Structure formats: C-alpha cells, structure tokens
Chains A and B, each alone.
Chain A
Amino acid sequence: MLAILRSEIFKFRKANIWALIFVGPVIAIFAGLVDSGELPVNSWVYTVLMMNLVYAVLFLPLITGVFASIVCRYEHQAGGWKQLLALPVTKGRVFLAKYLLLVSLVFLMQLLYLGAIYLVGNMQGFAEPFPLEIIWKSVLGGWIATFPLIALQLWLAIWFKSFAAPFAVNVIFTIPTILALNSEKLAPFYPWAQPYLMMNIGGKVDAMFFVPWDQLLIVVGGSFILFFLGGYFLFNRKAF
C-alpha cells in the first residue's frame, strides 16, 4: 500500500503542476487585501470571512476536481491503467492510494491558506493576536468537508477518459452552491456547500466545526460513504 502511494506521489510530483496548490491561497491573499475598507470589530474575523467567500465557495470544490483529473489523466493517456493494474496491486489499494494523495494535496493547500490568512493580517497590521485556534479549526473543517467531494471527483475522473467531462460535472454541482448558501434550509444538506460552511468562522460559534455535529456526520459523512463506495466498486468492476 505504501509502495503504491510512493509511486503515486512520484508520478504526481513529476507532472510539475503541483504549483496549482498555491493558486487558491494567492487569490485569497488578494481578496483579503482588497477588502480592507473600514474594518469592523474584529478585523481577523472580517478578513477571513472575505477570503473564505473567494476561496471556499467555488475555488476549493473546483480545484479538488482538477487534482482528481490530473492524477487519473496520465493513467488514461497511454494505457497506464492496464500497466499499473497488471502489477501486484489490487484495484482497491490503487483507488485508496490515489484518494490519499488527493486528500493530502488538499490538506497542504489548506495549510497554505492558513499561512495566507496570517500573511494578510500581518500586512495590514492587525492589533489583535492571530486567532490560531479558530482559524485552525476552520482550515481543518474545510478539509474534512472536501472528503466526499474528492471521492466523487476521483470516481468521475476514473470513469471519463477526457479531462473536460468530470470538470463539467464538477462545475454543474459547484455553481448551485451560491444559491444553496442563500437558503438556510437547503445549505446544510448540500455537500458542495459544506466546505464553506465548515470554514465559516462566523457560523455556529459554539460548534466544534461551525456546523452542528449531526450535519457533519450525516451530510459530510453520508455523502462520503456514498461517493467513496460508489467509486471504489465501479473501479473494481471496470475492465482494463
């Protein structure tokens, strides 16, 4: 299993596109700097809310799909799947290795985002100390909320040979997030809205991840199980 993961990391590293994980945090930095008119009470919270709007609503769900497509693209291009699956591996482990790689990439990106917030705050010379505990929870929660999305996108990326098809599906599901977030009834149930909600430090303040536990377990946990198992079993059934 570790050997497969190492091979996956190697292939991805050599693809020279891992600079993509910087794109989101850098855009977020601009968003944080631009919106610095008259700052309300807690400037950290306000800045993070602004940065989240740009980073967590659309960018985070979309970029996970791009990563998923990349880690499958070089397998689709020239018979990579059959070469890989004729090695002493099981499809289950290959699926898991690719999934773990994606999850790790998003984690790295979330860490960079945390760094971006810190940077913006310091550039603007906020008086209050960096609220690490809150922001750390936000970054971690946003990461967890992408688990089901990554699973679905890996499923799609394995299924479609083309780069465009899974991306199109991804966009179709991500855009309605804007609408869903405007509806208090709908938002808690829409998986694509969860990254934003779980990063929203202005949300349910007493909750661990700014959303109720049952929402985390049912919506994020439920869609994760559905998408992960769906992708896992379809990959297992597919012939190469």
Chain B
Amino acid sequence: MKYVVETKNLTKSFGKEQAVQSLDMKIAKGEIYGFLGPNGAGKTTTIRMLLGLMKPTSGSIQVFQQDLKKSRISILSKVGSLVENPSYYPHLTARENLEAWRKILGAPKSRITDVLAIVRLSDVANKKVKGFSLGMKQRLGIAAALLNNPELLILDEPTNGLDPSGIIEIRELIKQLPQSHGMTVLISSHLLSEIDQLATTVGVLTKGKLIFQDSIEAMRKLAKQNISLRVSDQDEAHRLLLAKGIQTDYQKDRLILSEFTDEEIANAIQFLVQKQIAIYRVEEEKRSLEDIFLQMTREDQVG
C-alpha cells in the first residue's frame, strides 16, 4: 500500500513530557482521515511535525513517499494547511492576505477570487482581517489552505469558531474534495460527532499515543447495539440462559445481550417466559460513536 502520509515511530518530547509517542500514522490516497483526540492529546504537535514547523525528537515522516527532511519544499508545495488558531496578517484585507501567500505559492491570481467564493468571504474580501469575527478568520484560513489546490490538505480543528451552518458548509466542502480534486484530507478534531459523517478513516490519539487507527466502519462495528433485559429473577435467568449456551453480561440490575440477531433475542425471551420468568423491560442500548471514543480515551487514562 502506498501512503500519502506515513510516519514511523514519530516521537516528540518537551523536556520530560512525551507529547507524541511512537506514532505510526498511515493515510492512504483519497482518504479523509479523522484525527481525533481530547485536548492536549498531541494532535497539533503531530501536525506541526508533518509540516516541518517542528523537528521530531525521533522517528521519520514520509509524505508522498518522500522523506520530509530531505524534500520539504517539494512536499509543501503540494500541501495546504491550517494549524491551530487561524493565522493572518491583521493589517491586510482578506484578499491581500491571500495575495501575500499566493506570491510565494505561485498560484494564478484568479485562484484568490475562487477560494474566497468557496469559503463565502467574497463580500468582505476587501476588509481588513483584524476586524473579522473568529469564524471569518477561520474561513480565511481554509481559503489559504486551498490556495495552491493541494494534493494533501491538513486542517487542524477547522470548524473551531464556526456557527452550525458554517460547520455544515465546511463539512460539505471537505466531503467532496477527494472526488472532485483528488485530494487527501487530514482533519483533526476533539469531537467525533464533527467528523463522523465525513471521515473514511479514523485515528484516535490520547496522551500522545495512537490507540486506534482503522476505517470508520471498523469503528462503527464497535458501536453495535446491546439489548438489556430486566427480569423478575435475574440470577435464575442468567443461570438458565447460560445452561442453554447463551452468554449474557450480568450487571447490577439487568442482563446485557450483545451482538445477537433479532431471532436469537426472540428465542431467548421466549425461553425465559416458558421458564416462568417475568420480563419487565427489553431495551435497546445504542452506543454512539461518541461513547466509544470517550470510552477508548477513558480506558487509556485508567490503564
């Protein structure tokens, strides 16, 4: 498999603290990679290293199968990025800000008008950015990241400061980039719900460690629903089901049946009724992806 981004053993220490630990990140072409982690997990630190803004303590970074250390310039000419808080020159207008960067990227001038339209800043193009709201600055940052029509787009919490309709707008924009422009996207967030409908691959980072990296489907599988049962005699029910070869999870006030088909559930309940056990409640417990994400990051904190 040829990856657009591949890190090996990537580590960054600040003094004693390891902000990023032995990261093996793999992003295939055309993916939208959701880079998830709670505050302070090391997302921004990783992204800074991917852009060469910060030198890794150890490990290697390959982008477009080239070593970042050796081919930084040729790599970065095909990368667009937005790191942490939006960056801008307060004394310039939105258009002038883009012009300052365009001069270096060598993109055509018309591209400025295009990207301003994409992020819906055309109306305020000639206003000084220091008077912009946070959301407008964020949009300018996204426009800047798109300026060179990059093959790899790196967005660090791009929906920060956007209103709900802005979030949806940006989500729709990012979603179509792989098909329409062949882009690969790395997008970080501390909220799974934000990239749930967007990401094709997910990497979960906690305390500098990548604890999950797989397709979003693989993550969804973890979210399969459970059925919880409340019955008149829980001990007896548990024993009877076990004798019949049905594993249940015994909890304080209920039994949990996980990964059963509709038919299996029906059979189990019918069996209990036959054994004179009264069924009080049959409830579906749907774990959201958010729960799984929370649980993952929490488990790691305990361990």
Residues on A lying within 8 angstroms of B by beta carbon are: 3-4, 6-7, 10-11, 14-16, 74, 77-80, 82-90, 239-240
Contact = CB atoms under 8 A, between A and B. Distances in A.
B302 interface: no
Contacts of A6: 103
Given A10-B99, A15-B91, A77-B90, A85 B53 contact: yes
A110 B73 CA distance: 36
Contacts of A87: 76, 101, 104-105
A85 B54 CA distance: 10
B224 to A, nearest CB: 41
B105 A88 contact: yes
Given A10-B99, A10-B103, A79-B86, A88 B73 contact: yes
Chain B interface bracket (under 10, 10 to 19, 20 to 34, 35 or more): 20 to 34
Q: Which residue among B79, B104, B144 has the maximum number of chain A CB atoms within 10 Å of its CB?
A: B104
B72 interface: yes
Contacts of B133: none
Contact of B96 (A14, A77, A85, A89): A14
Nearest to A3: B104
Contact of A10 (B72, B84, B88, B100): B100
A85 B106 CA distance: 15
Specify which of A77, A78, A89 lies most central, judged by the most chain B CB atoms within 10 Å of its CB.
A78
A3 B104 CA distance: 5
A7 B104 contact: yes
Contact of A11 (B48, B84, B92): B92
Interface string B79-103: 1010111111111100010011101
A10 B89 CA distance: 12
A78 B89 contact: yes
Nearest to A4: B104
B200 interface: no
Contact of A86 (B53, B92, B100): B53
B72 A83 contact: no
A83 B101 contact: yes
Contacts of A78: 85-90
A19 to B, nearest CB: 15
A7 B88 CA distance: 14
Given A7-B104, A10-B103, A11-B92, A82 B55 contact: no
